[in-house]
Structure 1
Amino acid sequence: MATPKTPVEPPRRRRIGVLTSGGDAPGMNGAVRAVVRMAIHSGCEAYAIHEGYEGLVNGGNMIRQVHWEDVRGWLSRGGTLIGSARCAAFRERSGRLRAARNMVLRGIDALVVCGGDGSLTGADVFRAEWPGLLRELVATGELTEAQTRPYQVLNIVGLVGSIDNDMSSTDATIGCYSSLTRICDAVDDVFDTASSHQRGFVIEVMGRHCGWLALMAAISTGADWLFIPEMPPRDGWEDDMCSIITKNRKERGKRRTIVIVAEGAQDRNLKKISSYAVKDILSTRLGLDTRVTVLGHTQRGGPACAYDRWLSTLQGVEAVKAILDTTPTAPSPVITIRENKIERTSLMDAVRLTKEVSARIEAKDFETAMNMRDAEFKEYHRAYLNTATPEHPKMALPEGKRMRVAIVHVGAPAGGMNPATRAAVAYCLTRGHTPLAIHNGFPGLCRHHADKPVGSVREVEWLESDNWVNEGGSEIGTNRGLPSEDMETTAWCFEHYRFDALFVVGGFEAFTAVSQLRRARDKYPAFRIPLIVLPATISNNVPGTEYSLGSDTCLNTLITFCDAIRQSASSSRRRVFVVETQGGQSGYIATIAGLAVGATAVYIPEEGIDIQTLSRDIEFLRHNFAHDKGANRAGKLILRNECASSTYTTQVIADMFMEEAKGRFESRAAVPGHFQQGGKPSPMDRVRALRMGIKCMQHIESYAGMSPDEIAADPRSAAVIGVKGSQVLFSPMGGPDGLEAKETDWERRRPKTEFWLELQQLVNTLSGRPTQGTGAEEHPGEGWGCYEST
Structure 2
Amino acid sequence: MKKIGVLTSGGDSPGMNAAVRAVVRKAIYHDVEVYGIYQGYAGLISGQIKKMEIGTVGDIVHRGGTILYTARCDEFKTEEGQMKGIEQLRKFGIEGLVVIGGDGSFAGAKKLTEHGFPCVGVPGTIDNDIAGTDFTIGFDTALNTVIDAIDKIRDTATSHERTYVIEVMGRHAGDLALWSGLAGGAETILIPEANFEMDDIVARLIRGHERGKKHSIIVVAEGVGSGVDIGKQIQEATKFETRVSVLGYIQRGGSPTAFDRVLASRLGAKAVELLLEGKGGRAVGIQQNKIVDHDILEVLDKKHTIEEDMYVLSTELSI
TM-score clears 0.5:
yes
- 1:356-403, CA deviations, whole angstroms, 9 ceiling, x for partnerless residues? x5xxxxxxxxxxxxxxx16xx2121122122221xxxxxxxxxxxxxx
Matched, 1:302 2:262: no
CA shift at 1:248, angstroms? 2.2
Q: Note the 1:132-147 alignment, pairs <5 A.
A: none
CA shift at 1:205, angstroms? 0.7
Q: Distance in 1 between matches of 2:289 and 2:248?
A: 30
Name 1:346's counterpart in structure 2: 295
Kindly tell me: are residues 105 and 238 of structure 1, through their superposed partners in 2, closer, same or farther at Cα, counting changes over 3 Å? Answer: closer
CA shift at 1:334, angstroms? 0.7
- 1:551-578, CA deviations, whole angstroms, 9 ceiling, x for partnerless residues? xxxxxxxxxxxxxxxxxxxxxxxxxxxx
Gaps of 5+ in 2: none
Whichever residue aligns with residue 332 of structure 1, its letter is G
Pairing partner for 2:67 from 74, 81, 88: 81
CA shift at 1:156, angstroms? 1.0
Name 1:475's counterpart in structure 2: none
Pairing partner for 1:287 from 223, 239, 242: 239
Whichever residue aligns with residue 259 of structure 1, its letter is I
CA shift at 1:222, angstroms? 0.8
Name 1:456's counterpart in structure 2: none
Q: Distance in 2 between matches of 1:385 and 1:112?
A: 40
Kindly tell me: are residues 199 and 108 of structure 1, through their superposed partners in 2, closer, same or farther at Cα, counting changes over 3 Å? Answer: same
Q: Note the 1:426-441 alignment, pairs <5 A.
A: none
Name 1:387's counterpart in structure 2: 317
Whichever residue aligns with residue 311 of structure 1, its letter is L
Name 2:162's counterpart in structure 1: 199
Matched, 1:258 2:209: no
Matched, 1:23 2:20: no
Is the 2:109–2:281 contact (alpha carbons within 8 Å) kept by the matching residues of 1?
A: no
Name 1:46's counterpart in structure 2: 34
CA shift at 1:341, angstroms? 1.4
Pairing partner for 1:90 from 49, 64, 76: 76
1:69 aligned counterpart, secondary structure = helix
* Stretches (4+) displaced over 4 A: none
Name 2:199's counterpart in structure 1: 239
Name 1:116's counterpart in structure 2: 102
Whichever residue aligns with residue 43 of structure 2, its letter is G
CA shift at 1:177, angstroms? 1.1
CA shift at 1:88, angstroms? 2.1
Is the 2:168–2:222 contact (alpha carbons within 8 Å) kept by the matching residues of 1?
A: yes
Q: Distance in 2 between matches of 1:100 and 1:225?
A: 48
- Matched positions, count: 319
Larger relative contact order, structure 1 or 2 (CA cutoff 8 Å, min sep 6): 2
Name 1:333's counterpart in structure 2: 282
Q: Distance in 1 between matches of 2:233 and 2:9?
A: 39
- 1:151-190, CA deviations, whole angstroms, 9 ceiling, x for partnerless residues? xxx3211101111111112111111111111111111111
2:193 aligned counterpart, secondary structure = coil
Is the 2:9–2:40 contact (alpha carbons within 8 Å) kept by the matching residues of 1?
A: yes
Q: Distance in 2 between matches of 1:192 and 1:28?
A: 33
Pairing partner for 1:180 from 143, 148, 160: 143
1:259 aligned counterpart, secondary structure = strand
Matched, 1:378 2:302: no
CA shift at 1:52, angstroms? 0.5
Whichever residue aligns with residue 351 of structure 1, its letter is L
Q: Distance in 2 between matches of 1:23 and 1:277?
A: 25
Q: Distance in 1 between matches of 2:235 and 2:219?
A: 16
Pairing partner for 2:55 from 56, 59, 69: 69
Q: Distance in 2 between matches of 1:169 and 1:279?
A: 35
- 1:599-619, CA deviations, whole angstroms, 9 ceiling, x for partnerless residues? xxxxxxxxxxxxxxxxxxxxx
Q: Distance in 2 between matches of 1:242 and 1:189?
A: 24
- 1:638-657, CA deviations, whole angstroms, 9 ceiling, x for partnerless residues? xxxxxxxxxxxxxxxxxxxx
Gaps of 5+ in 1: 1-12, 131-153, 266-272, 358-372, 390-790
Q: Distance in 1 between matches of 2:232 and 2:80?
A: 50
CA shift at 1:55, angstroms? 1.5
CA shift at 1:31, angstroms? 0.3
Q: Distance in 1 between matches of 2:39 and 2:233?
A: 44
Whichever residue aligns with residue 353 of structure 1, its letter is K
2:111 aligned counterpart, secondary structure = helix
1:164 aligned counterpart, secondary structure = coil
CA shift at 1:247, angstroms? 2.0
Q: Distance in 1 between matches of 2:308 and 2:83?
A: 43
Q: Distance in 1 between matches of 2:248 and 2:300?
A: 26
Whichever residue aligns with residue 118 of structure 1, its letter is G
- Identity within the alignment, %: 39
Q: Distance in 1 between matches of 2:115 and 2:26?
A: 28
Is the 2:82–2:111 contact (alpha carbons within 8 Å) kept by the matching residues of 1?
A: no
Pairing partner for 1:323 from 265, 275, 278: 275
- 1:272-325, CA deviations, whole angstroms, 9 ceiling, x for partnerless residues? x43223222332232211100011111111111111111001111111111112
- 1:52-77, CA deviations, whole angstroms, 9 ceiling, x for partnerless residues? 11111111xx1111000110111111
Task: Supply the RMSD in Å over aligned alpha carbons.
Answer: 1.4
Pairing partner for 1:221 from 184, 189, 194: 184
Is the 2:177–2:190 contact (alpha carbons within 8 Å) kept by the matching residues of 1?
A: yes
Q: Distance in 2 between matches of 1:344 and 1:127?
A: 15
Kindly tell me: are residues 284 and 113 of structure 1, through their superposed partners in 2, closer, same or farther at Cα, counting changes over 3 Å? Answer: same
CA shift at 1:39, angstroms? 0.3
Q: Note the 1:580-591 alignment, pairs <5 A.
A: none
CA shift at 1:102, angstroms? 1.4
Name 1:5's counterpart in structure 2: none
Q: Note the 1:552-631 alignment, pairs <5 A.
A: none
